[in-house]
Structure 1
Amino acid sequence: MATVQKQVKGSDSEIVNFLLSLDPPRIIIPDCDPEQFEKFISVNSRFLRISLIEGQLEIMPPLPVHIESSAGECQINFQVCRWCEDNENLVGVISSSRGAFRLLKLEDSNYPNKRTILSPDCAVVLKDRWDSLTDDAKRTSYPPVAPNFVIELLSKYDSAQLLHKKMLQWVNAGVDEAISIDLNMDPSEVRIYSFDPDANKVVWDTKEDSVEVRSRVLEGFVLNMQKVRRSMYLH
């Protein structure tokens, strides 16, 4: 695997501004096979945001973890976990940003070493889909299954364009409902992505300054956006 190394000197704000100036703000390592990916993950801190797209390793720079987005992610996961506890008979597995899934629909069967692995801020795999996996597949580090439901929260350091691309990838991989939340905009914006079989493409519904977001996949689940905002000190 190629090594990417660059020294940057200056204050914290200068370093952050430098990383944000990268276009796009990420490090790309092509031709990363599964063994190399496992080694990279095992020796690097989990705070790095890493994706594997058809064998291409994409690393988001180690920007500071902003307390607002971290708190918002925790609140989102809390609400989703509460729904899962109330509906445990429907749930296979729930995942936070520390988990990841291998997305077989985004891979080319002619190139088995070029895998695609994405990590969500919050995801739910429902029981029917989870139980379709073998016991060995369930125990792998990156289960080969697309979640039924995904939420991604845009932090102040994230790229809206890259998040949009990721949401398209989630749905093209088989996610039934993928929700992106951008509270940095004024007005704030929530997008609910899904696949339209009639149009044969990914579509999304955009809502501004939402008070709540109702899921069409997790029956009865309503994301309380006011609680998410309060957790992020956005009143």
Structure 2
Amino acid sequence: MNTAFELDLDNINLTDEQFFQLCQNNPDLRFERTASGELIIMSPTGSITSDRNSDLNYQLRGWSRKNKLGKTFDSSGGFKLPNGAERSPDASWVKMERWDALTEEEKERFAPLCPDFVVELMSPSDTLEKTRAKMKEYMENGACLGWLINRKQKQVEIYRPDQEVEILESPQTVSGEDVLLGFTLDMAEIW
């Protein structure tokens, strides 16, 4: 996840179209929006975090290309969650049948769904509290599996619907379980 700061924009209410245009008109910035409409500007990550995120996406994309069961997205891909928030997980995956059910216009914009699988890779300036809240939001909006990777603590928090969070200490690999059948993330390049 990229470093974020929140702006107090109580007097500014952007429509979905205005928010989309704001993102399109400022390609060097990344934005997210909470369910209550609060705008969050995401700064670029440091080089180490970017390198680790690239490897994470590379591994996920490689698995997905082989099985063609869904679509993968990097941290630039936005999703409009059912609760109205617009989020951009560091890595995500959507089952092909859900992707195929979208119109071409929906695919061109922020897909109106929560990914089936999401990953947030914490950067040094991210707070654990806010990143955990984001993971909880993904689960409440339909994600089937989520990983919060905390490189500093060498922990992976695994989120599943209606279950307690499982914390793995310094795992060498992490399984995609039955959501990403056959996918195993090699953590060597992520740590």
The reply to whether TM is greater than 0.5 is yes
Gaps in structure 2 of 5+ consecutive residues: none
Give the AA of the match of 1:33: T
Counterpart check, 1:181 vs 2:124:
no
Aligned partner of 2:57 in structure 1 is 77
- In structure 1, give the amino acid aligned to 2:159: Y
Aligned twin of 2:81: 103
Give TM-score scaled by structure 2 length.
0.88
Q: Aligned partners of 2:53 and 2:172: how far apart in 1?
A: 17
Shift of 1:209: 0.7
Q: Among residues 176, 181, 185, which one is paired with 1:219 in the alignment?
A: 181
Supply the distance in 2 between the matched residues of 1:127 and 1:120 (Cα, whole angstroms): 18
**Is 2:139–2:145's contact at 8 Å kept on the other side of the alignment?**
yes
Q: SS where residue 162 of structure 1 aligns?
A: helix
Is 1:38 the equivalent of 2:8? Answer: no
Structure 1 residue 55: Cα displacement? 4.7
SS of match in other structure, 2:190: helix
Once the two structures are superposed, residues 64-118 of structure 1 have per-residue CA deviations (whole angstroms, 9 ceiling, x without a partner) of 5311100000000010011011111x12x211011111112x1xxxxxxxx3211
1:159 & 1:169 partners in 2: Cα distance?
A: 16
Shift of 1:32: 2.6
Contact 1:33–1:55, Cα closer than 8 Å, also in 2:
no
Matched, 1:26 2:18: no
How many matched pairs?
A: 186
Corresponding residue for 2:86? 117
The superposition leaves residues 39-76 of structure 1 with CA deviations (integer Å, 9 ceiling, x where unpaired) of 3213324343x2112251332463x5311100000000
**How far off its partner does 1:28 sit?**
3.6
How far residue 25 of structure 1 moved from its aligned partner, in angstroms, is: 3.8
Match among 205, 208, 215 for residue 169 of structure 2: 208
Asked whether the 8 Å contact 1:32–1:55 carries over to 2, the reply is: no
Provide the identity percentage.
27
Please say if 1:143 is aligned against 2:111.
yes
Give me the whole-angstrom Cα distance separating, in 1, the residues matched to 2:17 and 2:101.
26
The 1-side partners of 2:55 and 2:176 are apart by 16
- Give how far 1:192 is off: 0.7
Cα distance in structure 2, aligned partners of 1:28 and 1:175: 29
Give, in whole Å, the separation in 1 of the partners of 2:137 and 2:173. Answer: 25
CA distance in 1, matches of 2:23, 2:152: 30
